[in-house]
Amino acid sequence: MRARLVLLLTLLACGAAGAAPTGPVVDLQRSWRLNLAPRLDDGSWATIRLNLDARVWTLMGEPVVFCSATWQLGTAQMKTPRSGGRVFDHIRANTPEAVWKRVALTDARFVLPLDRRLGAGRVDTAWIVCDIGAAHPEGDPRPSFNVPGSPAWNRLLLRGTPGLEGEKMLQRADAWLPADEARRFLAEATLRESAHQLEAVTLKLDLDALRVLDERVLADEEVRELERRRQAQARRRDAADPLETMFDEVDAQTLPRRQAQVAERDTQAARQQRERDEARRRELQRQRCAAAQDIVPAGAGFDAAAAAALATAQRCGGRLEAYRDAASGRWGYRSPAGEPRVEPRWQAVLPFAEGRGGVYDGKVWRLVDRDGQFVGEGRWKALRRFAGGLAPASDGERWGVVDIDGRWVLAPRYEDMAEFSDGLAAFRERGAWGYLDTRGQVAVPARYQRAGAFADGRAEVARLVSSSGRCEGYREDWEQREIDRQGRELRVLKSWTERGQLCLSR
């Protein structure tokens, strides 16, 4: 990959961008607004309005597909395992804002129609696969993400819609137009204005946060019912009736135990949510690096979207670069020239940096050197990339810092940590973010809700300035600020308001 990047930059610097492309020059763009009603697991369903943007173009005669989207949840209806058939309805205007922020559309693929006029009123249609990646809702400050895909010409256009066959059809070679026919078709095609086809097999919603809320409501109702019974029995208490006395004693023991169970369930749900968030972050990072390496860099059509993908590929590289074996699906490391150095036998790997790579066997992370030999005895549940000889690592509960020999230099004590940059690393403590230096000393106290990486002695942070109201009319006022290495706030970059809309409807 690095050799390709060097070649691309050399060609651009020498004026080679004027070379003629090897195929049709294409640039098609269109937007759709889709109203979807996907079914979820356990018989649940939701309504979504999706704003889909698609672009198909060519770079030096090779096709590139880039799709992105924003969406808005209408209603989600679901059952929980303990609800006994009871159905909960959630709407965005009636659910807590903190829960709404944890709902995300994590994967959705579509097939979009391209039409080619044949004359005499006849139209030929082919279909192109559109993957929107990870899309966040409208108004969410977090960016959605999808690296442009670079399919081969013989895997670009479908002869028909997948329909009920779904993923099986996409795996058949005869379902795709041959390369030469696809080139001719795309050169004469237009994206249809109104028609679209949902590929139903890949639409998923992460609604774990709402289910946790439903479980909490059920638990609270049980606690209230026990308390109601206790009070009713107290009003009817007859000291001469030993049976009533026995019931009172049972309730006196049951109610505190039930309340303790509710508190434990809330703690466990919060811990599981943190683990899911971390797993999703790692998976998106892996997908970002893997997809970016598939982009073929070439000449005159090189534009911003491809440049962003290639920049991602550069960040994912190192003295060795990670690669995935197509046959086994496992990961390893190879040289920039493509020579394998660490055999692909790992479920995941970190970008190689400062002579060390991180490898994951499905249970723990370990360090390896350039020859694939283990370094030290350290084993961690989570690990992040080295910078300045240090890397954040987690024992499964808390985060600390290890050196390039795999030894703890800062024992695990924080809720989360980011990689070191410019000699500082962001850490989270009691829900707030601050910064540590390379000695493990707190350089900036934890007082921000978001914390970016330092560069040239400065970083961007976000703070919740004020919040008010509950349910209807709920709002949060935020400011994004620039700080220096001592935590001095230099200026306000922007301000915005996030309006919560959610309370549970019963």
Q: What gap in Å lies between CA 434 and CA 446, rounded to an integer?
A: 4
Within this chain, do residues 129 and 254 fall inside the same structural domain, yes or no? no
The confidence band for 11, taking pLDDT boundaries of 50, 70 and 90, is very low
Specify the higher pLDDT residue, 365 or 41: 365
- Cβ atoms of 407 and 399 within 8 Å: the answer is no
Specify the higher pLDDT residue, 67 or 196: 67
Within this chain, do residues 114 and 254 fall inside the same structural domain, yes or no? no
Does residue 470 lie in a domain region?
Answer: no
- The radius of gyration of the chain from alpha carbons, rounded to an integer in Å, stands at 27
Q: What is the predicted pLDDT for the residue at 35?
A: 80
Within this chain, do residues 254 and 202 fall inside the same structural domain, yes or no? no
From residue 58, how far is each of 35, 83, 112, 295, 404 by CA, in Å? Answer: 30, 52, 17, 12, 43
Does residue 187 lie in a domain region?
Answer: yes
Lowest average pLDDT, out of 34-38, 186-190, 206-210, goes to 206-210
Within this chain, do residues 176 and 218 fall inside the same structural domain, yes or no? no
Q: What is the predicted pLDDT for the residue at 80?
A: 67
For the purposes of burial, counting CB atoms within 10 Å of the CB of 495, is it exposed (0-12), middle (13-18) or buried (19 or more)? Answer: exposed
How far from chain centre, in Å, is Cα 86? 31
Does residue 468 lie in a domain region?
Answer: no
Beta strands in 80-203 (DSSP E): 87-91, 104-107, 109-119, 122-131, 157-158, 190-191, 197-198
Does residue 418 lie in a domain region?
Answer: no
Within this chain, do residues 241 and 106 fall inside the same structural domain, yes or no? no
Within this chain, do residues 151 and 198 fall inside the same structural domain, yes or no? yes
From residue 82, how far is each of 30, 86, 212, 290 by CA, in Å? Answer: 45, 9, 11, 40
Does residue 112 lie in a domain region?
Answer: yes
Domain boundary among 279, 303, 323: 279
Q: What gap in Å lies between CA 26 and CA 438, rounded to an integer?
A: 50
Which of 498, 263, 80 is closest to 90 using CA atoms?
80
Within this chain, do residues 161 and 236 fall inside the same structural domain, yes or no? no
- The chain-wide mean pLDDT, for the chain, equals 76
End-to-end CA distance of the chain: 55
Count of domains forming the chain = 2
Q: Is the dihedral of CA 224, 229, 235, 239 positive or negative?
A: negative
Within this chain, do residues 126 and 215 fall inside the same structural domain, yes or no? no
Strand partners, 416: 428
For the chain, count helices (H), then strands (E). 7, 30
Domain boundary among 181, 206, 231: 206
Within this chain, do residues 202 and 165 fall inside the same structural domain, yes or no? yes
Strand partners, 482: 460, 491
Q: What is the predicted pLDDT for the residue at 399?
A: 94
For 505, the token pair is 């409807």
Does residue 133 lie in a domain region?
Answer: yes
Fill in the amino acid letter for 259.
Q
The confidence band for 183, taking pLDDT boundaries of 50, 70 and 90, is very high
pLDDT tens-digit profile of 357-399? 999 998 999 999 888 889 888 899 999 988 888 999 999 999 9
Domain boundary among 183, 206, 229: 206
Lowest average pLDDT, out of 44-48, 144-148, 314-318, 497-501, goes to 314-318
Within this chain, do residues 108 and 42 fall inside the same structural domain, yes or no? yes
Within this chain, do residues 146 and 188 fall inside the same structural domain, yes or no? yes
Q: What domain range includes position 153?
A: 20-206
Does residue 268 lie in a domain region?
Answer: yes
- Cβ atoms of 70 and 53 within 8 Å: the answer is no
Q: What is the predicted pLDDT for the residue at 3?
A: 40
Q: Which residues contact 103 (CB under 8 A, 6 or more apart)?
A: 73, 137, 205, 206, 207, 209, 210
Does residue 298 lie in a domain region?
Answer: no
- Cβ atoms of 394 and 383 within 8 Å: the answer is yes
pLDDT tens-digit profile of 144-154? 778 888 899 99
**Assign residue 338 a region: left if phi > 0, alpha if psi is -120 to 50, beta otherwise?**
left
Within this chain, do residues 41 and 190 fall inside the same structural domain, yes or no? yes
Beta strands in 96-239 (DSSP E): 104-107, 109-119, 122-131, 157-158, 190-191, 197-198, 204-206
